[in-house]
Amino acid sequence: MIQSIVNRQTTTTFTNGVVFYLNLADKIVGTPTFGSTTIGDNTFYFLTSPFFLIKLESQFTGKTKIFTRPDYASLGTNVNTYDRSIQMAYKYSMNPNSTEDLSESEILVGTDEFPLGLYNLTIYQIDSSGELDPANATATLYSGLLNMKASAATTGTDNFESVQYTEYTNNDSENESVYLTN
């Protein structure tokens, strides 16, 4: 299961993102194309084709969002990690006044239709970066779970965990912890 920590956000820009890594190399159909660029002493590797389509379906509401990455998938710095992991990413906003752009991997989360919680995650291989229809996918590369949960940061304004727990220690047996919600 992929853990996706979501921070509180009030701006309408998509400045926060979720990044996760999956081993997909053995599932990709066809021959992938790689690229690299060197900046200073570092070489950055990336996948120029194929492209990826990401589908998130809320287990709570049944609502689905399908979006694609507009850029190349990162494969590592100074080492091409294609055989071990490919970076997947999307940007999110919690502000209902934000305008999501599925072709740019910019999605609204924490809403009534797309709340925090468990999601069915499916990643498809596609041939073009603008494709948003899974019916046109070359292959299904990954099916699994993603848990989108609120940040429990102990400092700052990022914490908006829906339930804060306080340990109750005045029980009769004093041998186990019981948690009460505030």
pLDDT digits (tens, 9 = 90+) for 36-69: 999 999 999 999 999 999 999 999 999 999 999 7
Q: List, as own/partner pairs, every contact residues 33-39 make where C-beta atoms lie below 8 angstroms and the sequence separation is at least 24, other chains included.
A: 34/75, 34/80, 34/82, 35/72, 36/80
Its domain, for residue 82, covers: 2-156
- pTM assigned to the model: 0.81
Average pLDDT over residues 72-98: 89
How many domains in the chain?
A: 1
Task: In whole angstroms, give the CA distance from residue 120 to residue 100.
Answer: 20
Query: Is residue 178 domain-resident?
Result: no
C-alpha angle 149-12-91 in degrees, rounded to nearest 5: 50
Query: Is residue 163 domain-resident?
Result: no
Query: Is residue 180 domain-resident?
Result: no
Query: Is residue 95 domain-resident?
Result: yes
> What is the per-residue pLDDT for 72?
84
Query: Is residue 6 domain-resident?
Result: yes
Residue 153 has pLDDT above 80, yes or no: no
120, exposed or middle or buried, with CB in 10 Å at 0-12, 13-18, 19+? middle
- Domain CATH for 83: 2.60.40
